[in-house]
Amino acid sequence: MTISSMTGCERVNRMFARQDQDRVPRMDTFWPETIARWQREGLQWDHNDVLRLLGADFQTLCWSWPAPFPGRREVLAQDAETETVRDAWGGIVRVWKGRSGTPEHVGFGCDSREAWEKTFRPAMLAAPLQVDTRLAALRWQEGRQLGKWTHLTGVEGFEALRKQIGDETCLVAMIEDPEWIRDIVIVHTDTVLRTFEAVLAEGVEPDGLWIYGDMAFNHATMCSPAMYRELVWPAHKRMADWAHERGMKVIYHTDGRVSGVLDLYIEAGFDCLQPIEAKAGMDIRKFAPTHGDRLAMFGNIDVMKMATNDLDLIEEEIRTKFAAGKATRGYAYHSDHSVPPQVSWDTYKAIIGLVEKHGNY
């Protein structure tokens, strides 16, 4: 069955319902350096123009990552290429000047339960709303007019732990002081949901909730599935329940190999997994047949293959993974990470054509 002239909202909702669609829903993200390269190679505008050419079906309304000290950015040191700053979470990070990249974490101010309870927890609870709710409402109105699938966006508890106290302290505390970990996650989740409630109070009626939290590396999750289930999963379920009670679907973003917790994601109420990092051994050709009826698959197109600019290799990646995803009717296109600057503009224009060629039902 072929359905024509569907809006992005209709297309994505039918993907979640495993109903017939005209084509695979689409979305993508890009490093700033990628857009800069493409502009040198003939792109006339910015990433929004690329998304229009792609035919993206999604519209972000807001981004919620509450910090205890919003607006803080104290430069402590700098050289020709980097700056060392104290940030809004009270940590000290070294960042590149004028280009994106993973920061070097020099130190975390919140490095003990005492520091959390004395300084950081009260600051988090007292911090003002950190989302422009009126702007979110305007974006929702725009998205509705364009027929997009509109969504709230924010960070969940595991990512908040890593940002607030750092990986080393977090993983040790999961064993030695689990109640501290639970408290950080609960306070963060309370704050995010309070923010989203303020957005809804503007009359916004989103289609979904898209939450971010990288909880794995290239071999496995950073903690055991049992520890995730005990300490962080309850907050994941709470966020999913909150969204479902308001008629929204839930997309969960995590990098890394999360094959060992897919069933826990489904139990938590996540409706969709994104971006399904191929570089970490995630492959929808394996997972779609076993989990695709319960968990929509969003992404998995390997950016390392895109970066070769070898169109035959890229087409094989898209063709075979689209076939696996389309078989479930629960698949949407996205790269398995932000598209890197090694990908030429000519290559990405060809990728858009390949998505069109292999993405129609």
The answer to the question of residue 167 being in a domain is yes
Q: What is the pLDDT of residue 146?
A: 97
- Where b means 16+ CB within 10 Å and e means fewer, 12-36 reads bbbbbeeeebbbbbbbbebbeebbe
Task: Note down the domain range covering 210.
Answer: 8-66+127-359
CB 340 within 8 A of CB 34: yes
Are residues 85 and 171 both part of a single domain? no
Cis-peptide into 275, omega within 30 deg: yes
Q: C-alpha distances in angstroms, 130 versus 189, 245, 320, 331?
A: 14, 24, 42, 33
Total domains in the fold of the chain: 2
Tokens for 354, please give them. 């390949």
Are residues 61 and 73 both part of a single domain? no
pLDDT by residue for the chain (361 residues), tens only, comes to: 344 579 999 999 999 999 999 999 999 999 999 999 999 999 999 999 999 999 999 999 999 999 999 999 999 999 999 999 999 999 999 999 988 888 899 999 999 999 999 999 999 999 999 999 999 999 999 999 999 999 999 999 999 999 999 999 999 999 999 999 999 999 999 999 999 999 999 999 999 999 999 999 999 999 999 999 999 999 999 999 999 999 999 999 999 999 999 999 999 999 999 999 999 999 999 999 999 999 999 999 999 999 999 999 999 999 999 999 999 999 999 999 999 999 999 999 999 999 999 999 9
- Where b means 16+ CB within 10 Å and e means fewer, 91-119 reads bbbbbeeeeeeebeeeebbbbebeebeee
Are residues 98 and 138 both part of a single domain? no
Are residues 186 and 232 both part of a single domain? yes
Are residues 166 and 29 both part of a single domain? yes
Are residues 94 and 49 both part of a single domain? no
Contacts of 328 (CB under 8 A, 6+ apart): 18, 288, 289, 292, 293, 296, 297
Are residues 56 and 147 both part of a single domain? yes
Angle at CA of residue 9, ends 7 and 15, nearest 5°: 105
Are residues 84 and 61 both part of a single domain? no
Integer Cα distance of 353 and 341 in angstroms: 19
Are residues 278 and 230 both part of a single domain? yes
The answer to the question of residue 204 being in a domain is yes
Are residues 40 and 88 both part of a single domain? no
Are residues 253 and 321 both part of a single domain? yes
Integer Cα distance of 190 and 65 in angstroms: 12
The answer to the question of residue 3 being in a domain is no
Are residues 200 and 74 both part of a single domain? no
